[in-house]
Structures are given as C-alpha cells and as structure tokens.
Chains A and B, each alone.
Chain A
Amino acid sequence: MNIVVCIKQVPDAKDVRLDPETNTLAREGVESIMNPYDRHALEEAVQLKEEHGGCVTAVTMGPPQAENVLREALACGADKGLLVSDRAFAGADTWATSYTLAKAIESLGEIDLTLCGKQAIDGDTAQVGPGVACRLGVPFVTCVQKTRASSPDSITVERMMDDGYDLVRLPLPALLTVVKDINEPRVASLKGKMKAKKAVIPMVSAADIQAAPENIGLGGSPTKVVRVFSPEARGDRQIFTGTVEEQVDQLVQQLKAHL
C-alpha cells in the first residue's frame, strides 16, 4: 500500500501570544513543530504500511527549513520525504495549497491512500484535506477517529460527526483526514533518527511538479487578507483587589446580581 502523508510545519501555537505592551506577537522561544494532527496521520500511515507493506512518503509544502519536519517524519517511520518548496508558493491560501500538494502527490505515481491531519493548528481551517481529495479525484472522509479494517482495495473507518460517528467504507485510492483519537504516535527510535539524519530529501519546485503559475501562491489564491488587527478588549472590566476572601466576597456580590 503506497501512502502519502501531508505534513505542515507550524509555530507551536500554544506558546504564541500577544505582548500586552506592544500589542505585537511575542514569539521569542516559539519553535516550529510538526503539526500535531499530522503526527497522528503519519502514525496511521506507518501502521498501515506495517500491516500491508508498501511505502510511506511524507510531503510538505513550505520554506527550505520545513525539511526538518520531514526528517522527523522519517525518524518516526516514513520511508521517503518530499519537500515542495518555491518562493512562488508564498502567500498560498487553502485553495492554492491544495492544488500544489495534489500536483506534488500526482508526481509520485500511483498512490493508494493519502492521509492528512484534520487541520493545522496555525490556520485551523481544515480545508486543505478535502481540497486535495477533490483535486486528486478520490473519495474522502474527514475527522477519522479509528481504522476498523483495511485491505488493498478498501478501508473501513469511523468518522466523527457532531452527534457521534459514522462507520464508512471507502474504495482505494482515497483520502482521509484524522483526529488525535485515532492512535498514539510512536517516539522516534535511535535507529530511525540515524536514518533520518543521513537521508537525502528531494526538493521540488513549481516547475518540477508542473504546477501552473496562475494557480499557486498569492496570485493563485482566491482569498486575500485585507486587514489584520488585534482583538478588542472589553471596556467594562473590573479586577478585584484585596485578600482572596475580600475578592471572593466582591465577586459573589456581583454574581448575586446576575444569577
């Protein structure tokens, strides 16, 4: 079973916050990490490969240093990496990103299954997975929480709904996006780390994957950011002072009025 995992390098969002003094992003010490959901997609791919044989290729679109997440993927069980990197990709929205990723995946030949994390924690859109499926022309479901059965021709999975889950069977090739409940990602082995360190990771440009210039990057993106701004603070706030008991007392006075 030949499997592609789409991976994104993201800032560790839980550490990013606004600097209250300057109202700008305080990002000192914020590291780039593998998008947490993608880690679960990778683990699922490696488990399926262990069951059925085949090859797991980790694909990322990003700046040259995004190679780091591919090395991490190799250390965690991926067989190959593909770095899709070109200045022309900058400013891509989810439409242009899914176009670019699909072109890259098509350049890899016959693929049975494409796995993505449910969403990336920096954008939280959850749009790229369905977009890639659309471009590849394969059936897909999102938010998979469990693989029940798999064969060379089909895969049966539980996909989360707002009120529970649906058990669905898809013929292969297909695309799935996964949630964290699906598995517990392994820690990279020493051997895996050594292999990852030595691996040569190919880098491909827009021309290499035959991506049409009008469909990539900022120019190829239907959505445009027109303004960025900080969220407004509430004007009417009241921070209590005094001992814990005094503060609690003031709060309960207010609560009594409202509840």
Chain B
Amino acid sequence: MLKIDCDKCIVCGICESGCPFAALHCEDDCVVVDENCTLCGACVESCEVGALSIEVGEKKVQQDLADWQGVMVFGEFRHGTIASVTYELLGVGRKLADARGVGLSVVLLGTDIGSHGPSLIAAGADLVYLVDHPALEQFREDAYGYALEKIIRLKKPEIVLAGATAIGRSVIPFVATLIDAGLTADCTRLEIREEDGMLLQTRPAFGGNIMATIECPDTRPQMATVRPKVMVAAEPDGNRKGVVESIDLDEKLTSSKVEILETVISEEEQVNIQEVETLVAGGRGLESEKGFALIRELASELGAAVAASRAAVDSGWIPYPHQVGQTGKTVHPKVYIACGISGAIQHAVGMQSSDIVIAINRDENAPIFDIATYGIVGDLYEVIPALIKRIQEVKSDSSR
C-alpha cells in the first residue's frame, strides 16, 4: 500500500494534481489516499520531499533467474508467409541480445515452414526453432499457447518478444499466464538497463496520456508485445550464420478444443494505411461523416490514403481498418496530415514517427500541435477547401 510520512509531507499538492486516479487529497497537515489508489507510483516519483513510498506485501520471487538466457522472438506465420512484424522484432531483438551479450532465437509454428530459416537468420536470428505440425496449420490459442509454453520452458529465454497482432495479442497473454511471467502490451520502446541487464519496456498508460516504463524484476522470461511498424527491421544480411533446429512436440501439446470451420479473408481489411507515403487523417473535429468527403478529396489531390482517429471510427464515420493509434494501426508515412484530431497520446503513439506531421485544428492548445511539424490553427472547413484549391493551382502552374 501507499505509505505517507506526514512528518515529511508539506502538503504542496503536487502529488494530488499529478495522481492519474484522483486518489490523493490534501488535508490540513498531510495528504491522504483513498481506495482509488492503484499503487501506480506516479506520486512517489513526483514527491519532492520523499514523503511517499510504496510498501509491497507478500511477494513472489522466482529462484532461478540466472538460468534464463537469450532473447526469443515468436515468429508469426499465416497463410504461407512470415508477418513483417517478425522481422521488425528481430531488428529490436538483435539490439537487445547484443546489449546483453546473448543469442537471438525465433520460433516458427505451422506447416511447411522448413524453407524459412535463411530469411530469419538474415534478419538477425542466431537460432531458428521450427515446429512443423499439421495441428498448427491454423492459429488456435490453445494449441499455439501450449506449444510456445513448452518451447519457452525448454529453451529458457530471458526475454520473449511477440507482435501485438490479432494472433500475438490473443495467445501471448495466455502463454504469460501459463508460465507466470510478466507481460507488457504494445511497447513503443524496449531497452536494456546497463546496471543490471533488466529489460525496460515503455508503453502509453493511464488512459494513454502518460508513458510508463515497466520492468519484470523477479520473474523470467520478461515478455513484451510490440505493434507492427513500431520497430525497424534490419537490412537482411545473407552472410549471417545461424542454426535451424526442428522441435518435435508431444501430440497432447498441439491438440486443440477449438475447431476452425472457415477462414475468410476480407477485402475491406486490405486498406493498407501502413504502406503509403502520405496520409490524410480525420478526427472528432470533422463533426460528422460528411467531413470525410472533404478528407477524401484532399487525399485524392495528394495521392494519399485516408486515416482516422478512434473518435471518428467510434462515431461510425469510417471503418476500423482506417484507425490510427493505440487501438488501431501504427503508421509512419512521410507526411501525416491530422485534420480535427486533438492528438491525445492514444492517437499520437500510432503516428508520431511520421517524418512530417501537419496539424489542422481549431484549438490552438490541442496536443496535436506539440507533435506537429507544421500547424494551422483554424476551422478545417475553411482551411481544407483553401488547401485543396491552392494545391490544384500549384499543380496547374507546374504543368504549364
């Protein structure tokens, strides 16, 4: 629980205003805490006089931490191809493994996967573990989960990374529970702390308005998921050497209670806002579905694709595949034009690595201007038509 040293507390109010859960209240001579406290530690960090501390009750400590070594990536394989997030994870995994002076492995589950070793090694893996089994042809949580558990217990990696995809976000929490490991979702930064080799996992937290760095001090492996396009894959190096190992698993492990009756690949899901150079995105500020007509017009002038904030998708103005942000896609186009998007961190984490961010917003205090390269403060229903007109003029000038 949160311990408050009233002899030290000067009732400055910093912790009260900084508490993400409104759990602290200044009284006459000391601050008090109520049951909304989640022990997040924000106040402990902010207290300038050291009056606050967190007291942990009973604690689990795993005994064999030193036996766990190496970095392991869960390689995602579906419909005959390796997901690009796997190469991105090998990119960051290589850096983590080098910082720890350990090997980098990748696990691939599926059927007919034997030929994929070289591309994974070229992307940074030292070891490729293949589990080729008919029961793993299609993704099912229980079969994939028990298979991964077995391999993790067998190989004892200190770090396990997976893509925060439909598959990863479903099976990895199951695996983490099976092996009693800590898991951090949707990390935007992963690094090794020099002093003790701990994996520091940074992600948006508390409603997405703050970033939190998380560690797993007493358990192994340290597990994290990372969304596609957040990390960067290394240039493939065909001269890299590595070892491919096939692993046979007990039939029991790959059996599943879930029956897949049909797999449907949808056309609509193919809107790939992650692959284009320019994106025009609309948010709550559009105020209605009609706003997207304007967004589409601007996008078409620029040869861009259309993206959206969660507010716009939740309002039903545009389908989910267009959503950018923590619960949508992560993008990094050359140019990202945010129209009527306030830029809460939930959105920002999905687009802030764009080369250039242009913000058009009525509210000059909107956080989007903090991450914008260029900003226009104004009514988007005036600004965008003017912008379209000017772009058309410039185009016709240059074509003359």
Contacts and interface: CB of A to CB of B under 8 A. Distances in A.
Contacts of B213: 225-229
B215 A214 contact: no
A141 B258 CA distance: 8
Interface of A, helix, strand, loop or mixed by DSSP: mixed
Nearest to B185: A125
Nearest to A169: B259
A124 B373 contact: no
B178 A126 contact: no
A98 interface: yes
Chain B interface bracket (under 10, 10 to 19, 20 to 34, 35 or more) = 35 or more
A251 B390 CA distance: 10
B200 A169 contact: no
Interface of B, helix, strand, loop or mixed by DSSP: mixed
Interface stretch (A22-30, A44-52, A68-76): A22-30
Contact of B262 (A11, A166, A231, A247): A166
Chain A interface bracket (under 10, 10 to 19, 20 to 34, 35 or more) = 35 or more
Interface string B363-388: 01101011111111110001100110
Interface string B350-369: 00100111100000110101
B326 interface: yes
B207 A121 contact: yes
A92 to B, nearest CB: 8
Contacts of A198: none
Nearest to A234: B371
23 contacts: A13-B207, A25-B207, A63-B34, A88-B57, A126-B169, A130-B171, A131-B177, A134-B174, A134-B178, A167-B264, A168-B259, A218-B54, A219-B57, A219-B58, A219-B59, A225-B212, A226-B214, A234-B370, A234-B371, A237-B372, A239-B372, A252-B390, A259-B302
Interface of A: 10-11, 13-14, 16-18, 20, 22, 24-25, 27, 63-65, 87-88, 90-91, 93-95, 98, 119, 121-131, 133-135, 139-143, 156, 158, 160-171, 180, 213-215, 217-231, 233-234, 236-240, 244-245, 247-252, 254-256, 258-259
Given A228-B41, A259-B302, 13 more contacts: A13-B208, A124-B327, A131-B177, A133-B174, A139-B256, A143-B170, A161-B78, A170-B257, A217-B39, A222-B181, A228-B212, A234-B372, A237-B370
Interface of B: 1, 17-18, 20-22, 34-42, 45, 54, 56-60, 78-79, 138-142, 145, 165-167, 169-174, 176-178, 180-186, 200, 204-219, 256-266, 269-270, 278, 302, 311, 314, 326-327, 334-335, 342, 344-346, 348, 352, 355-358, 364-365, 367, 369-378, 382-383, 386-387, 390-391, 394
